[in-house]
């Protein structure tokens, strides 16, 4: 019963955020609003599930409040930073993201709103629930027998590296886009070590959350939680993120040379060119 209530609370939180985002998107005529709602959905899910799991009549009495709220804090810092960053970007732009127009087969005005809700807001809400599995495991459990706090420490370290990488990449990309004399490609800073350091940082954050949360609990929960970072990494590399960005940038002047010397995902020293 307690697990069911925790999951229902998480789902209700995500539905609430996505419903507000859908209404806002329709009012503004911008499907890209969902990008800002993405980070907010994880924060709402983490807070709702942790609160319900901690209630004595619903909570799992063997749980560890310290671990529970540590994971919530990790999700909140990442999610709010991402939501603020993307919200500012959306507000500064005068048109919708062409990715959504391509996916929907038209603009928000041209496509039935019901189809937009199903293909964008409902789909992303479901993905949020799947990716957040390590959070749902962590809020209901404590560390494994014998203690695996070393796993928590490693997880926090991986999360911090991912968060820093993503934040630096976003800041450098935003500064690059503000330049009036910018070249076709951003190839300096952290972008000289990875062609997609922002997406790598995103993935690393969720591997860190899994390590600190689900993996540290041991048992079946660690395996169930593993689905979260695997799905996030798959989406970032094969479904949207990297795949779409590579297709968009391919053909720009200097692309082949940049791709030849620069790691596609994991930041690595640039390869020597001959």
Long-range pairs, 172-176, Cβ under 8 A, ≥24:
173/198, 174/85, 174/89
Q: What does the alpha-carbon distance between residue 119 and residue 34 come to, in Å, rounded to a whole number?
A: 11
- Please write the tens of the pLDDT for every residue from 193-238: 999 999 999 999 999 999 998 888 878 889 999 999 999 999 999 9
Least confident of 11-15, 70-74, 78-82, 138-142: 138-142
- Please write the tens of the pLDDT for every residue from 123-136: 999 999 999 999 99
Q: What does the alpha-carbon distance between residue 81 and residue 87 come to, in Å, rounded to a whole number?
A: 10
Averaged confidence pLDDT in the chain: 90
- Please write the tens of the pLDDT for every residue from 184-204: 999 999 999 999 999 999 999
Q: What percent of the chain has pLDDT over 70?
A: 94
Single out the residue of 9, 5, 40, 8 nearest to residue 22, CA to CA. Answer: 40
DSSP per-residue codes, 125-152: HHHHHHHTHHHHHHTT--PPTT--HHHH
Higher pLDDT, 1 or 31: 31
pLDDT at site 59: 46
pTM score: 0.91
pLDDT at site 193: 97
Q: What does the alpha-carbon distance between residue 138 and residue 221 come to, in Å, rounded to a whole number?
A: 8
pLDDT at site 55: 73
pLDDT at site 170: 96
- Please write the tens of the pLDDT for every residue from 99-116: 888 888 888 888 899 999
Q: What does the alpha-carbon distance between residue 43 and residue 204 come to, in Å, rounded to a whole number?
A: 17
- Please write the tens of the pLDDT for every residue from 240-260: 889 988 988 898 999 999 999
- Please write the tens of the pLDDT for every residue from 18-71: 999 999 999 988 899 999 999 999 999 999 999 988 776 554 544 577 888 999
Higher pLDDT, 271 or 63: 271
* Most distant CA atoms of the chain, gap in Å: 67
Confidence of residue 146 (pLDDT cuts 50, 70, 90): very low
């Amino acid at each position: 019963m307690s697990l069911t209530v925790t999951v229902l609370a998480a789902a209700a939180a995500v539905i609430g955020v996505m419903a507000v985002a859908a209404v806002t998107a329709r009012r503004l005529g911008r499907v890209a609003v969902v990008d800002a709602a993405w980070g907010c959905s994880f924060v709402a899910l983490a807070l709702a599930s942790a609160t319900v799991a901690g209630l004595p009549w619903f909570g799992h009495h063997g749980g560890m409040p310290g671990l529970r709220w540590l994971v919530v804090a990790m999700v909140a810092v990442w999610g709010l930073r991402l939501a603020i960053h993307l919200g500012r970007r959306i507000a500064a732009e005068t048109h919708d993201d062409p990715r959504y127009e391509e996916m929907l087969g038209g603009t928000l005005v041209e496509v039935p709103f019901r189809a937009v809700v199903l293909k964008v807001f409902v789909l992303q809400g479901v993905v949020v629930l799947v990716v957040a599995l390590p959070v749902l495991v962590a809020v209901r459990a404590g560390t494994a027998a014998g203690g695996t706090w070393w796993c928590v420490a490693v997880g926090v370290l991986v999360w911090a590296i991912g968060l820093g990488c993503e934040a630096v990449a976003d800041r450098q990309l935003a500064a690059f886009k503000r330049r009036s004399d910018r070249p076709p490609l951003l190839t300096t800073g952290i972008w000289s070590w990875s062609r997609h350091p922002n997406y790598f940082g995103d993935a690393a954050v969720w591997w860190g959350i899994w390590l600190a949360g689900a993996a540290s609990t041991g048992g079946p929960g660690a395996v169930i939680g593993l689905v979260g970072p695997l799905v996030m990494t798959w989406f970032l590399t094969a479904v949207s993120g990297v795949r779409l960005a590579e297709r968009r940038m391919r053909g720009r002047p200097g692309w082949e040379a940049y791709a030849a010397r620069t790691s596609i995902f994991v930041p690595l020293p640039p390869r020597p060119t001959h």
